[in-house]
Structure 1
Amino acid sequence: MISVNRKKLYAAVMSTVLAASFSTAAFAEEEADLSEFSLDTMVVTANRVLTKITDAKADISVVDRKAIEEMHMTNVEEALRVVPGVQFLNNGGSGALNANLNGIRINGSKEIVVLVDGVRVTDFQGDSSGYIYASLMNNMDNIERVEVLRGSAGTVYGSGAKGGVINIITRKINEAKTTVDVSGGTFGKQHYKLNTMGRQDKVGYNVYYDKTKSGDVKDGEGKKWPSSLDSQALGLKVTYDFTNDHTLTMSYDRNKADYSGFDLVEGKTYEGNNKSDNFTLKDDIKFSDKWSNSFSYRHSNTKGNYAQSNKWIENAQSDYTYNFINEQARYTMSRHDFVFGIDYSEGKNNISKKLSSTSTEKGNFKLKNTSYYIQDDWEIIPKVTLSGGLRYDKPTNSSGNGVQLDTHTSKSYKISWDVTDNDTIYAGKSDFYILPSMNQLLDKNYGNKGLKAAEGHTNSIGYNKTFDDNNILTLNWFETISDVAIGLPASGRYNNYTDGIARGWNMQYMTQIGENWNANIGWAHLFQHCSGDNLDMGYYPKDMATFSIFYNYAKVKAGLDGYYFMRKINNEYAGKNGWPADNYAVVNLSASYAPTKDLNIYFKVDNLFDKLYAEHTDNIHGGKGWYSMPGRSFVLGMQFTF
């Protein structure tokens, strides 16, 4: 989607492959039983402390287990598409083309942080942190909910948290249960899932296996895009409860995808693969009602290759290793709630190669960053809370390649007032700080060793309203200003820019209608611009409405979700007819019937009105053609539980 060299894009984003299972322990000392549906969902992402969404005093949305099950969501992308302020930029519609490479933007920014149970997944990706491979995020059985925090959160979550934070919370192991799910449908789609969990005294376990295959894809016009995708994920999670207040969790996940096909725009065959291995260790302990501590360690390795016309492209090969360590403590008093800790991140490029055609430098370089942070929520007077935070980042480069990154202190503050028991207003300012990626610094074609880290801040004002137990409204206005940004011009190397800005507002309304209906309606308004980023050429919506409606009665469940896209028209490009439609709706339908408690038969229709084709083009910036999105598709499946 974004106007960059396609070969470059493959290399830049390969390092951001995410694990499909996301299986680490979820703030064990804080987690509650969330199996009973409630509009006022409990969340942890706003300030690392478990609280109700209406008490979080932040712009946050949740896709819960109920929505995941009733829409039979097969990957995290399907969950995030109905969240206000979140936009996916699909780079091609084939299930294999670019391995279904998708760019996530929150509030117009592709600099985001992805967490699993509060543990950072990757680092040192710069403006590519929002790129993910949907084919490697297919296992939803192990996910309890997905939380999305919109806006800068640099003091709490560190480098990269400009647009926001996505936190995938995995399910607790509190029962013995095995689920087998088999489905198939349009475009040769085959999906096989196995998820089993159990507990024996103090030991809990969860094992999963997920395999997805698909073939040729037809777009909205019926044009066939030859392609093949074969992805699989497997993993194991084991928990040990020393006491009710002390839990150790270990998990391992492996994800792999192979893809191939024919690119109708480039007129070339292609093939590629990507895989990731991830190990996570987490120790959560609650010493008393006031003191608790969490230690996390995550080791990840991601690899990828890409070839065109049977020729492997050197610049599209990647092999990255990441290590993350977090030590966090929480101390509560009558009017203070402190969270403080240390983050250590390490990223290493394992490929040794020349960094330019004339350079004698080699790759195989490493970047490190150590961060210290503290946050305090202080109830100044009853119903008025002042929140403040500081984070100190100290990046280092031990590779002797001339890269120098300065230390940085990020600040945040927010004041909130519970006007009534049902009305809360808040206002605040939060800094962001984004280290350049290893690729942006040292890529042989586009790298710039002189890049400065991106930095700036977000101002926000919000309002939460609880009308009653069945009706909740949240509203947030934001303005994100980049004092320093990183961008890639149409030609040349990565550069720093100083004109980045995004502003807009997000609204969501959650309602329960009787015993059988519930709905979530959202609206996002956005203006965005930054040199080196062509999103404002017409790729983003000026306004986008999101919706999800669910019906549940006896053995029948049904859901309808989607969004209505209203394009931001840039007058400079308005006459180029880059898109077939500027306003369109994408709607998905799911229905299921459970003849017994152990058997569930379901049917899905994605892209119900066949309008997804309007979502992508490269004509707007002089491309050869366009990558149309998949047409309407169907899936029929059966799920067994025992």
Structure 2
Amino acid sequence: MNKRQKKILCTLIGSAFILSMAEAAAQEQEYNLDEYVVTANRIPLKQAETAASVKVITRDEIEKSGYTRVPEILEKAGLSIFDSGSAGYSQSSVFINGDDRVLVLVDGRKINKENDLGGGKMKLNLNLLPSVKSIERIEIVRGPASSLYGSDAAGGVINIITRKATANETALEMQGGNWGMRNYSLRTEGRENGFGYFITAERRELDHFEYKDARTGQVKRMPNSAVDEDAISVRLDKELSEGRSLSLYLEYINSKKGYFLAPPGYPYHFPTSYEVNRNNTADLTYRWKNRTGADGYFKVYYSSDLREIPNYMEGYPSAVDKWSVTSRTTGTDWQDNWRITDRYDLVGGVSWRQVNVDIPKGGIFNKKIENSALFLENRWRLPADWTLTAGMRHDDYNLFGGQSTVRLTANRKINNDTNIFASWGQVFRTPNIEQLYSTGVPRGNPNLRPETGDTVMIGVNTKLAGNTKLQASIFSSRLDDAIVRVSTNVVGVPYSFDNVSKQKRQGLNLDLTRQLSPLWNISAGYAYVQVQQKVQGAANYTDDPENNQPNGYRFSADYSGGKWDAGLTLRGATGLSRAAFTTSSYWVVDLSAKYKISPDLIASFKVYNLANTAYEVRGVTAPNPIGFYPMAARHFYLGLERRM
């Protein structure tokens, strides 16, 4: 972070502290940051009372913007996503504060896996997330949350909250576009006598996708990039007496798509290989109200995941006839909160989770990771609208023993429009099954240690003149025993895993939104991230050339009025290393529009990558050639939705 960037943020935060000293003269506004968020503290709190940088995407925003997939929503929210627009090809990397160790929740249930289902450090396939039709809101929390949520929450947390029925309605939608894109969706909901159902069914088809070659400027077809996917979700809700309720969420996804998709001429180019994913989930949750007005709950869940790749790594010496990964996850969560005094609350809970994994060709048979955890967080409301929290989580893993992580936060609500906060939290992240036990490529290492570290964050949320809202934060994180792939110099086993590096991250995030008029809203964001690492035995830290957002920019303008909803989004990055990326900067423009032909008939149109930019969001270094992961070229779709 350079001196100018530090000066800007220090001025913003310093101004907020000055405002706090003049609180007696501050006038509380009727419209402010009083939007409740759940994820940051596991209980509903107004944003001005939350010691975190939180971004909320509402159902209204989702519907107006015409999103077709969750990665698009996260991308517009300012996160760096390794994705390919509507093409549906994703390597499942989401970066928060420069870190892709990100925890993803659905209704508070962890969906990251303890095995590598093609999901990198997230251990998650972004294509296997709930339909956007079934989402009520998404909450994004920057910074570590291991003390509340456990392993994987190093960079931040994304909580997808599903919809429950609020009306009696059915909607059908059809979409078509470039590259043989065909999407069909059904949404139906109903509510009567305290019982509600919300059902979605989708089918997605794509013949292939295309990318622009940064070296030649030519648009090329990616071989074997077809997508064929079916997804069904069902949510049933029953209201019981005295504020109690019961919810059942069921989901089934069956997906077939091309495997890996490296361009022709690159290593690991498999022109005929494909992968199949089948996922089943059941989640039963019982909720009750208590003295604090927040929900306590008890949840039980089960999921099974199958990933098969026929002709795995075809043409390579390590090729096998079929690579398959089967995992079964069973878990329970209990959480409640207590008002001890008028100024002291306590939130706590216990959880148990067991994952069994089979990878026959990797030499893994019924390997198990089991964890029991207890967490408690104390929250004190002090004079002058200060709030302090102190929380601790203790995890007991069958493979790694016990580990405790701590989080401390301080928040000052200056008025209904402004709060300042500081937080410190520890990081704890365990190796996954493949990293420990695989006999394939890369080779596992049963002696791996969990990654540990901590993060400090300071920030301000405020409302400026002219209906302009600002979120600003700076962060610094440290990670020890980082798990990386290392060369083995062993014939047939080129890579293995080891705890060989230390990593440091620091940066800032700025997010501005302004309501220009009842019809127009604009937002802009800037993110600076410096990622450094030091391998074992090295004297100094060096910059990570694969840092995909040294400087990230985002701008959007949205119009909503009459029969029209329309939006423009500009996103870009500068300062990329030419040792890992084909260009040092890129800019991408997306357009969307929806038109209400009648109250029950809506047409939609969206263009991705309007300028046909050649770029990558994931970099690679030698010995692999740069340009390994090209993003999708310009493409569009047209849609028509009928509501009944």
User: TM-score by structure 2 length?
Assistant: 0.85
Task: Report the residue type matching 2:241 in the other structure.
Answer: T
Equivalent position to 2:409, from 410, 414, 435: 414
Deviation at 1:490, TM superposition (A): 4.4
Counterpart residue number, 1:632: 634
Q: State whether residues 603 and 636 of structure 1, in contact with CA within 8 Å, keep that contact through their aligned partners in structure 2.
A: yes
Residues 615 and 341 of structure 1: CA distance in aligned 2, closer, same or farther (over 3 Å): closer
Among residues 182, 199, 215, which one is paired with 1:207 in the alignment?
A: 199
CA contact 2:49–2:412 (8 Å) conserved in 1: no
How far residue 141 of structure 1 moved from its aligned partner, in angstroms, is: 0.7
- Which 4+ residue blocks in structure 1 deviate beyond 6 angstroms? 532-535
DSSP 3-state at the match of 1:69: helix
Match of 2:609 among 607, 612, 633: 607
Task: Please tell me the residue identity of whatever aligns with 1:639.
Answer: E
Q: Secondary structure at the match of 1:101?
A: coil
CA RMSD of superposed structures (Å): 2.7
Q: Which amino acid aligns with 1:326?
A: D
Cα 1:371–1:315 shift into 2, 3 Å = farther
Q: Given the alignment of the two structures, is residue 48 of structure 1 paired with residue 42 of structure 2, yes or no?
A: yes
Once the two structures are superposed, the pairs formed by residues 268-283 of structure 1 within 5 Å of their partners are: 268-283=271-286
Deviation at 1:628, TM superposition (A): 2.7
Matches within 5 A, 1:336-375: 336-352=344-360, 355=363, 363-375=365-377
Aligned positions of 1:156-167 closer than 5 A: 156-167=148-159
Give the 3-state SS of the residue equivalent to 2:60 in structure 1. Answer: helix
What pairs up with 1:296-307 in 2 under 5 angstroms?
Answer: 296-307=299-310
Matched, 1:463 2:460: yes
Task: Give the CA deviation at 1:422.
Answer: 3.1
For structure 2, the residue ranges without an aligned partner over 5 or more in a row are: 1-30, 213-217, 489-494, 537-541
**Do 1:94 and 1:629's aligned partners in 2 also have CA atoms closer than 8 Å?**
no
Of 315-324 and 612-621, the range deviating more from structure 2: 612-621
Match of 1:139 in 2: 131
- Is the contact between residue 311 and residue 323 of structure 2 (CA under 8 Å) also seen in structure 1? no
Query: Please, which moves more after superposition, 126-135 or 189-198?
Result: 126-135
Deviation at 1:504, TM superposition (A): 0.6
**Aligned-partner Cα distance in 2 for 1:590–1:391:** 43
Contact 2:427–2:453 (CA<8 Å) still a contact in 1?
A: yes
* Number of the residue aligned with 1:73: 67
Could you tell me how far 1:609 is from its partner in structure 2?
Answer: 1.1
Offset of residue 142 of structure 1: 0.8
1:458 CA drift (Å): 0.5
Aligned partner (choices 104, 108, 113) of residue 103 of structure 2: 113
> Is 1:386 aligned with 2:388?
yes
Asked whether 1:329 is paired with 2:336, we answer yes
| Identity score, percent | 25
Range 299-308 or range 118-127, more displaced = 118-127
Indicate the residue corresponding to 2:527 in structure 1.
Answer: 524
Shift of residue 466, structure 1, vs aligned partner: 2.0
1:607 deviates by 0.8
| Compared CA separation, residues 581 and 624, structure 1 to 2 (3 A) | closer
Equivalent residue in structure 2 for 1:508, among 504, 508, 511: 511
8 Å contact from structure 1 (residues 39, 470) kept in 2:
no
Which of 479, 484, 504 matches 2:481?
484
The one-letter code of the counterpart of 1:154 is S
Which amino acid is 1:457 matched to?
D
Deviation per residue, 1:401-452 (Å, 9 max, x gap):
xxx4131111111112223443322112111111211111111132111111
Q: Deviations over 1:57-98 (max 9, x none)?
A: 2011122223212221111100011233x22234x89947xx
Deviation (angstroms), 1:530 = 3.4
Offset of 1:200 from its aligned partner?
1.9
Q: Establish whether residue 187 from structure 1 lines up as the match of residue 179 from structure 2.
A: yes
For 2:347 and 2:190, how far apart are their aligned partners in 1?
33
Q: How does 1:533-612 map to 2 (within 5 A)?
A: 536-569=544-577, 574=578, 579-612=581-614
Deviations 1:354-400 (A, max 9, x none): 63xxxxxx52111101110001110122311111101111111xxxx
CA 1:118–1:622 in structure 2 vs 1: closer, same or farther (change >3 Å)? closer
User: Is the counterpart of residue 151 in structure 1 residue 143 in structure 2?
Assistant: yes
Structure 1 partner of 2:227: 229
- Map 1:69-108 to 2 at 5 A: 69-84=63-78, 86-90=79-83, 95=87, 99-108=89-98
Q: Shift of the alpha carbon at 1:608?
A: 1.1
Matching residue of 1:171: 163
**Which residue identity does 1:411 align to in structure 2?**
V
The answer to whether the Cα contact below 8 Å between 2:205 and 2:229 also exists between their aligned partners in 1 is yes
Higher relative contact order (CA 8 A, sep 6+): 1
Equivalenced residues, count:
583
Per the TM alignment, residue 489 of structure 1 is displaced from its structure 2 partner at its CA by 2.1
Moved more, 386-395 or 445-454: 445-454
Counterpart residue identity of residue 161, structure 2:
I
Q: Distance in 2 between matches of 1:242 and 1:464?
A: 38
Contact 1:93 1:627 in 2 (8 A): no
Q: What SS class does the counterpart of residue 382 from structure 1 fall into?
A: helix
Q: Could you tell me whether the CA contact under 8 Å between 1:155 and 1:373 is conserved in 2?
A: yes
Q: Give the corresponding residue for 1:16.
A: none
Q: Separation in 2 of the partners of 1:260 and 1:49? A: 41
Which range moves more in the overlay, 406-415 or 266-275? 266-275
Tell me if the contact between 1:122 and 1:322 (Cα under 8 Å) persists in the aligned partners.
no
Paired residues of 2:107 and 2:162 also in contact (CA < 8 A): yes
Q: Distance in 1 between matches of 2:522 and 2:34?
A: 13
The alpha-carbon distance between structure 1 residues 316 and 309, as it changes in their structure 2 partners (threshold 3 A), is closer
Contact 1:39 1:512 in 2 (8 A): no
Partner residue, 1:430? 425
Kept in 1, the 8 Å contact 2:32–2:416? The answer is no
The secondary structure found in structure 1 opposite 2:228 is strand
Cα 1:297–1:268 change in 2 (3 A) is same
Q: Measured at CA, do residues 469 and 146 of structure 1 come closer, stay the same or move farther in structure 2, by a change above 3 Å? A: farther
Matches within 5 A, 1:304-323: 304-308=307-311, 313=320, 316-323=323-330
Q: Where do 5+ consecutive residues of structure 1 fail to align?
A: 1-36, 356-361, 397-403
Q: 1:315 to 1:497 in 2, by over 3 A?
A: farther
Q: What is the SS of the residue equivalent to 2:422?
A: strand
Shift in CA distance, 624/460, structure 1 to aligned 2, threshold 3 Å = closer
Quote the residue 1:33 is aligned against: none
The residue identity in structure 2 corresponding to 1:322 is T
Distance across 2 between alignment mates of 1:276 and 1:566: 38
Partner in structure 1 of residue 499 of structure 2 = 496
Question: 1:467 Cα shift?
Answer: 2.7
- 460-469 or 166-175: bigger deviation: 460-469
Contact residue 208 and residue 227 of structure 2 kept, 8 A: no
> How far apart are 1:217 and its partner, in Å?
2.1
